[in-house]
Amino acid sequence: MNLEELANLMQDETYLRNFLSLAGEMAPDGNDITLLGLSSSKRKVGFVRTHNEIASKTALPTPPTAVQQEITVIGELDFATKRAKNLIGLTVEGGTRYDIKVEEGMEDLVRAYFSEWVKVAGLFDGKLIYLSSIQPADPADD
């Protein structure tokens, strides 16, 4: 099933974004794990897409505007507040801080990584990174 078919089944964009972010977390890494199977009494499903293939679709991204550029950074997820409209903070080695806007539906995934080192990808407008994917990282990956 491709993203368009899935979007037709899950017409609520928030629900779809949440599903994709959680599916990306469970997906195989492509190296040590190449297949993940889920089953119920009625059906068996196998995940064959890797974490990176699913994560790249999580935010249902819009094309970058003239003032946005794609960015990937590695750092510690060290700030989060719901008061600032789902804003999280990331500090990279060397002390540079980034503010990251989290779309509704990705909160579950972000919550799991608080105080952890993560690799964040998204669109950067010079002030905010608009999150498209987040995954565990090691400070040495930087």
Q: What is the pLDDT of residues 80-130, one digit of tens each?
A: 877 777 889 999 999 999 999 887 767 777 788 899 999 998 899 999 998
Q: Residue 139 carries which side chain, given as an amino acid letter? A: P
Q: Tell me: do 95 and 119 sit in the same domain.
A: yes
Q: Tell me: do 49 and 74 sit in the same domain.
A: no
Q: Tell me: do 50 and 88 sit in the same domain.
A: no
Residues contacting residue 4 through CB under 8 Å, at least 6 positions apart: none
Listed residue (115, 75, 117) closest to 99, CA to CA: 75
In a domain, 60, yes or no: no
Q: Tell me: do 132 and 82 sit in the same domain.
A: yes
In a domain, 131, yes or no: yes
Q: Is 129 helix (H, G, I), strand (E, B) or coil?
A: strand
31 pLDDT higher than 60? yes
Q: Tell me: do 87 and 41 sit in the same domain.
A: no
Q: Which residue has the tokens 């539906």?
A: 105
pTM over 0.75: no
Q: Tell me: do 73 and 132 sit in the same domain.
A: yes
Identify the pLDDT of residue 12: 74
Q: Tell me: do 108 and 51 sit in the same domain.
A: no
Structure tokens at 2: 């491709």
- Residue range(s) defining the domain that contains residue 120: 69-141
Q: Is 25 helix (H, G, I), strand (E, B) or coil?
A: helix
C-alpha count within 13 angstroms, C-beta hemisphere, residue 81: 6
Structural domains counted in the chain: 2
Q: CA 12, 42, 9: angle at the middle one, nearest 5?
A: 15
63 pLDDT higher than 70? no
CA 20, CA 111: separation in Å to the nearest integer? 15
Q: Tell me: do 74 and 126 sit in the same domain.
A: yes
Last residue of a domain, one of 16, 32, 55: 55
Burial of 36 per CB tally in 10 Å (0-12, 13-18, 19+): middle
